[in-house]
Structure 1
Amino acid sequence: MRIKIEREVRVPDPIKLERYRRTPDLGPRILFFSGGTALKKTSTELTQYTHNSIHIITPFDSGGSSAVIRNKFKMLAVGDIRNRLMALADQSVLGNPAIYKLFAYRLPKEADDTELRAEFEQLMSGEHPLVRDIHAPMRKIIRNHFIQFADIMEDFNLRGASIGNIILTAGYIGNRRHIDPVIYIFSKLVEVRGIVRPTVNMDLHLAAELEDGSFVVGQHLLTGKEAGPITSSIKKLWLAENLGDSTPCEVEIREKLDDLIRSAELICYPLGSFYSSVVANLLPKGIGNAIKGNGCPKVFTPNTGTDPELMGHSLTDQINKLLYYLRKDDLDNIAIGDVLNFILVDSVNGIYPGGVDKNEINKLGIQVIDCELISEESAPYLDPALLSKALLSLT
């Protein structure tokens, strides 16, 4: 299939893909607004072609082990950040496989407090097998993070704790609650091939009004993973300061994030939980203006199958909702074409609520790119290799 951006482009483009594969260090800056898990395999696949992808990650997770850390230290969620860093890490022998193995480790859920404290002491002292396998001076850097965490942990529940999350938390607290320095150190330790940043460096939560008039505060109550699926469609999403209070708060993106967005060669609103992963990233003030300020192509790659957050939403509804949040900075001056140009679908193999209404989508000035994105192995979900090749071809 051929589409037109500023020149004739082929999707997928084998010549362009081979060029990227040979020189991934010079690969394109594809920027994603996403959460931590749905795009994990695609992120790893992309590292074969580019080491310059940019990942803006939601720091609003309020469930699981992230909730334990957030409740204890009153901080942004680092679990999805860690997940994406690990997805982009060099897992070959040329990277740091021993550090990768340590950061991917979780303390056992079935151990008692005494056993957990004893294992943590081993990690901190360097006697733990996973730490002993790491060469100096990196071993000392990691041990220092364990020591920093020990100074602040008090009665922290270590059961099932992610070592990667512990390292990020210790570095965050140790750097006066700045997340960028510890992400930088973490990235160097596991040879991350890309850039990962949270949308905001603040302790905030997602809040939503449902169509039935009720309010929900907390990402874990929206995703359908921990508290069961919501029973009414999401009407509106915003940010709140506390789990117990749905009062909206306004936060503006940092200049660093603005610069990153404007530097991208392709901007993608990818698969993942529609509201808590994609839309959540668009809530801070300044996101829409930064996207408008970048003339690169912008593409939406919707989920196939079922997303509990999309109850009552057709594919066209999703596009209209996405456009609302992308343009909310300045509705009168941000045109649709400033923030969204293409939607990438596989209408033959994909399952899209309400189907793919190309006429309605085209009326918005958005071009539908319909190509193979789902393989026999990945069905009914998008295939990471096929999706990566399609996105790379658009750059």
Structure 2
Amino acid sequence: MKRIVLFSGGSACRSINVALCRSGADVTRVVPAWDSGGSSKVIRERLPILSVGDIRQALMTMAHGEGCAGDVVKICNARLSANLGFDDARKEFLFYAEGRHPLLERMEPGLRGAILNYLNTFAASVGRDFDFRHGSVGNFILTGACVAHNGDVNTAIFVFRKLCGIGGNVWPSSCDNDLVLSATLRDGRRLAPQDVITSMGAEDAKVGIADVELAGAGQNPPVANPAVLDAIARADLIAFGPGSLFTSILPHLLVADIVSAIAKANCPKVFIGNILQCRETMGLTLEDVLAAADLHVRKGGGTSNLFTFVLANRMLFPFEKTVGTFPYLRENRQEKNGRHIVKGEFEDAWSRGQHDGDAIAAALLKIASGDASDA
């Protein structure tokens, strides 16, 4: 059983995570803790807690890959209505928190009691004026568990996994609860926090991102999660991507000790290239993306060429082609800088612009086994 560590955001590597689980790999997902949008934003504005949205998404992906589709997973994957009034949204939350949902009613008492305890801990912590609209029930449970365990997110994740029957691990790269991501554009302007960067307009996207910074209150550097450092030390392969380059992938490299731990790990380190450009990478080639990765490796205290393998989607046409508004990410065929470029038809045949999880998983497992002969 190969131990694979995936540094990613919450959703972009979903198909790869699922395929690796179904292949029998021992998967650890490492996800961001600096999300400042969506349901996580409302919770972070109310409580001194790190973002749980990407953690919960990754846990639900892990559950799907492992074939866990029980009542607890269904509850944790539920979301409250977005089109209700404030009071009606609270009533919908209480339908869960008071145990009146049919899935909760039929659970064995221990599971039901634990979930209700965490939901009610959450409700007591956020107060009666909290806006529950469009909130994730899983986020509420995970946050309630974190509060109940004195803010220890690793313990909360462990309990959440046990409730759902999930075997794989999901950890934030840092347990710091006050991290803020900021980006410097090529014209010197700064954008912050994370949700402002991801929603930047088309003109800012044309200017492009030069680099990103990740810091807590008082500009303190983020501290690495010990569970992540342990997973890195035991890994048979470490992979970064796919996902939003500057907001989901590269900031992991800025967490103290992450780069040095990866450099020391005696295993292949793989960068998974995106299929398409996105708003954060408009006009960039794969080599530009790798140059940005090298820059942030150096900012994280390492040297270039941390990644020994690169998975690159093979281009099947000699002209620019788009999916929606975004072109495919292309190579510009410059020096490989000592990296082993593994080219393959990695695009999903049924979802244009997305990765074929089975193809990527097969390539990763082949590299982990020491065989990249067809690269």
Give yes or no for TM over 0.5: yes
Indicate yes or no: 2:122 matched with 1:149: yes
For the 8 Å contact 1:90–1:191, the answer to whether it is kept is no
Indicate yes or no: 2:307 matched with 1:340: yes
Distance 1:144 1:171 in 2: 8
Cross-structure match for 1:264: 235
Distance 1:302 1:335 in 2: 17
C-alpha change, 1:329 and 1:101, in structure 2 (3 Å) is: closer
Distance 1:316 1:95 in 2: 39
Distance 2:214 2:109 in 1: 43
C-alpha change, 1:73 and 1:40, in structure 2 (3 Å) is: same
What CA deviation, in whole Å up to 9, does each residue of 1:199-232 have, x standing for no partner? Answer: 11122110111111111111111223xx544342
Please list, as runs of the form range in 1=range in 2, the aligned pairs for 1:290-301 lying within 5 A after superposition: 290-301=261-272
Cross-structure match for 2:287: 316
Cross-structure match for 2:14: 40
Cross-structure match for 2:174: 200
Cross-structure match for 1:101: 74
Shift of 1:389: 1.4
Indicate yes or no: 2:146 matched with 1:179: no
What CA deviation, in whole Å up to 9, does each residue of 1:290-312 have, x standing for no partner? Answer: 00110201111111122111134
Shift of 1:152: 1.1
For the 8 Å contact 1:54–1:195, the answer to whether it is kept is yes
Bigger mean CA offset, 51-60 vs 344-353: 344-353
For the 8 Å contact 2:35–2:41, the answer to whether it is kept is yes
Distance 1:65 1:125 in 2: 21
Shift of 1:353: 6.3
Cross-structure match for 1:279: 250
Indicate yes or no: 2:357 matched with 1:384: yes
Shift of 1:257: 2.3
Shift of 1:74: 2.6
For the 8 Å contact 1:102–1:130, the answer to whether it is kept is yes
Opposite residue 220 of structure 1, the aligned amino acid is: D
Cross-structure match for 1:20: none
Distance 2:25 2:107 in 1: 24
Cross-structure match for 1:19: none
Cross-structure match for 1:213: 188
Indicate yes or no: 2:36 matched with 1:62: yes
Distance 1:151 1:291 in 2: 40
Opposite residue 234 of structure 1, the aligned amino acid is: I
Bigger mean CA offset, 253-262 vs 37-46: 253-262
Q: Secondary structure at the match of 1:268?
A: strand
Bigger mean CA offset, 380-389 vs 110-119: 110-119
Opposite residue 130 of structure 2, the aligned amino acid is: F
Cross-structure match for 2:324: none
Distance 2:34 2:15 in 1: 21
**Unpaired runs of 5+ in structure 1?**
1-26
Q: Which of 98, 105, 118 is the aligned partner of 1:132? A: 105
Opposite residue 116 of structure 1, the aligned amino acid is: A
Cross-structure match for 1:81: 55
C-alpha change, 1:358 and 1:71, in structure 2 (3 Å) is: same
**Unpaired runs of 5+ in structure 2?**
322-326, 369-375
Bigger mean CA offset, 342-351 vs 213-222: 342-351
Indicate yes or no: 2:222 matched with 1:237: no
For the 8 Å contact 2:28–2:168, the answer to whether it is kept is yes
For the 8 Å contact 1:358–1:368, the answer to whether it is kept is no
Distance 2:309 2:65 in 1: 33
How many residues of Structure 1 are paired with residues of Structure 2 in the alignment? 356
Deviation above 6 Å: which 4+ runs of structure 1? Answer: 350-354
Shift of 1:65: 1.3
C-alpha change, 1:272 and 1:383, in structure 2 (3 Å) is: same
Distance 1:79 1:374 in 2: 27
Shift of 1:105: 0.7
**Percent identity for Structure 1 against Structure 2:** 30
Indicate yes or no: 2:52 matched with 1:53: no
Q: Secondary structure at the match of 2:138?
A: helix
Indicate yes or no: 2:198 matched with 1:223: yes
For the 8 Å contact 1:273–1:309, the answer to whether it is kept is yes
Opposite residue 18 of structure 2, the aligned amino acid is: T
Q: How high is the TM-score relative to the length of structure 1?
A: 0.84
CA root-mean-square deviation: 2.1
Distance 2:367 2:10 in 1: 23
What CA deviation, in whole Å up to 9, does each residue of 1:32-57 have, x standing for no partner? Answer: 11110111222122211135111110
Cross-structure match for 1:4: none
Indicate yes or no: 2:90 matched with 1:111: no
For the 8 Å contact 2:287–2:332, the answer to whether it is kept is yes
C-alpha change, 1:330 and 1:100, in structure 2 (3 Å) is: closer
Distance 2:142 2:259 in 1: 29
For the 8 Å contact 2:239–2:270, the answer to whether it is kept is yes
Q: Secondary structure at the match of 1:137?
A: helix
C-alpha change, 1:166 and 1:150, in structure 2 (3 Å) is: same
Shift of 1:240: 3.4
Cross-structure match for 1:165: 139
